[in-house]
Amino acid sequence: MHERIPRLPDAIATASGGKIVLLVADGLGGLPDPETGLTELETAKTPNLDALAKEGVTGLHVPIAPGITPGSGPAHMALFGYDPVEYLIGRGVLEALGIDFDLKQGDVAARINFATVDGAGMITDRRAGRIPTEKCAELSAELDTIKLPGVELFFRPVKEHRAVLVLRGEGLVGGLNDTDPQATGVPPLQVRAETEKEERTAELLNSFVSQAGAILVDEPKANAITLRGIATREAIPTFEERYNLRAAAIAQYPMYRGVAGLVGMNVLPVPDTLDEMTALLREHYEEYDFFFMHFKYTDSTGENGDFPGKVAATEQFDTIVPGVVDIATDVLLVTGDHSTPSLLASHSWHPVPVLLKSRNSRRDPCESFGETSCLGGALGVIRGVDLMPLMLAHAGRLAKFGA
């Protein structure tokens, strides 16, 4: 019975239609400065976004669900039209993607912390005194030489005390427990197999941890490791399979390039500048039906609690717009993946402004691009996962549903 229920919009996606550009400013949404009552986006001088908002249709989107603060991974899955709870991407997988690691389907990835243990094996520092990244790289190269029976192994540094372990081979599974006990004065946990299927993966990982311990034994700080977020890269239906879209990603940061790759986007070369992002769009515009463009600095400045910095990043983002508008003449949607208010210095659950420009979009009274003005937009407040069907519809890529 179940498979007879058509999945929307996939079931009505047509083979042709207009082109779509999804322009994302990471962490775009904010909160008002108590002095001025204006958010970062409302404070920033954004003449290009404002002009677009005037011409197009606006609204707000709720990334996952009301009250839920998302990570950038699930928030992007929602923008791409994938229910982020159904298509959960494990933290180990995201960490591996975040360093541009070429993760294959079926690989198991785990986030690693270097840690300090005392003579009795009790954890005294879960982050090994945040060893320098160079030290992490040096130790990672040593641990990368460990051999395990029947699997290929990759150990890669990330930053400070963080690294990634990837196992590649037949029959590996994810979802096993973390070995970081989240406390000091206790030993790291073992990886436990809850089912027979998990036994081999658990054995391999435990064997790795003990071999790593032997190599690290004389290290003053990083003399142990813990594993977190053990996950496999699962098969995910691609943009082509779901929407008949040949899609490309233009993004500087590895994690976003990685998530785009997971849904089958062709990830274009890393652009060094904003001008290069637009140049890539122009150069490849004829080859693809869908482009995902990602701008990072609205998020990183928000995470730093830097209100003026986020205002400046938003103004910088605004400068991309004319070049993109010039190329993306069918459907252009501008939004963020989630809010990152400088006042919270973190991601948040607040709805994110959206603006959609297309020849067949309605008009609304919204005259500028901001959290408050977009409340009066004709799109209303919708879920992040509903943006993809809207983009497809405006591009003339969805057939009528039913007779």
Q: Which is nearer to Zn ion, 289 or 337 (CB)?
A: 337
- Residues near Zn ion (CB under 5 A), total: 4
CB of 347 to Zn ion, least distance (A): 7
In sequence order, what are the beta bridge partners of 166?
Answer: 109, 154
Distances (CA, A) of 179 to 195, 222, 233, 242: 17, 16, 20, 37
**Which alpha helices (H) appear in 109-198, and where do they start and end?**
133-143
CB of 352 to Zn ion, least distance (A): 10
In sequence order, what are the beta bridge partners of 334?
Answer: 23, 355
Q: Which is nearer to Zn ion, 198 or 299 (CB)?
A: 299
Strands in 93-170 per DSSP E: 108-117, 123-125, 152-159, 162-168
Q: Which is nearer to Zn ion, 17 or 71 (CB)?
A: 71
SS3 403: coil
CB of 72 to Zn ion, least distance (A): 3
Q: Which is nearer to Zn ion, 48 or 72 (CB)?
A: 72
| Of 24-32, 52-60, 147-155, 323-331: span binding Zn ion (CB under 5 A) | 24-32
Q: Which is nearer to Zn ion, 350 or 394 (CB)?
A: 350
Instruction: Identify the residue among 42, 330, 337, 371 touching Zn ion (CB under 5 A).
Output: 337
Instruction: Identify the residue among 43, 72, 140, 348 touching Zn ion (CB under 5 A).
Output: 72
| Of 70-78, 89-97, 106-114, 190-198: span binding Zn ion (CB under 5 A) | 70-78
**Which alpha helices (H) appear in 56-132, and where do they start and end?**
72-79, 91-98
Q: Which is nearer to Zn ion, 50 or 337 (CB)?
A: 337
Question: Treating both helix axes as pointing N-terminal to C-terminal, what angle do 72-79 and 387-394 enclose, rounded to 10 degrees?
Answer: 30
Q: Which is nearer to Zn ion, 76 or 242 (CB)?
A: 76
Terminal C-alpha separation, the chain: 21
CB of 299 to Zn ion, least distance (A): 5
| Of 42-50, 199-207, 232-240, 295-303: span binding Zn ion (CB under 5 A) | 295-303
Exposed, middle or buried by CB within 10 Å (0-12, 13-18, 19+), for 177?
middle
CB of 283 to Zn ion, least distance (A): 26
**In the complex, residue closest to Zn ion by CB:** 72
In angstroms, rounded to a whole number, what is the distance separating the alpha carbons of residues 313 and 333?
Answer: 19
CB of 71 to Zn ion, least distance (A): 7
SS3 392: helix
When asked if residue 298 is in the footprint of Zn ion (CB under 5 A), the reply is no
Distances (CA, A) of 258 to 79, 109, 167, 252, 261: 15, 14, 18, 11, 5
Instruction: Identify the residue among 9, 26, 191, 225 touching Zn ion (CB under 5 A).
Output: 26
Q: Which residues bind Zn ion (CB under 5 A)?
A: 26, 72, 299, 337
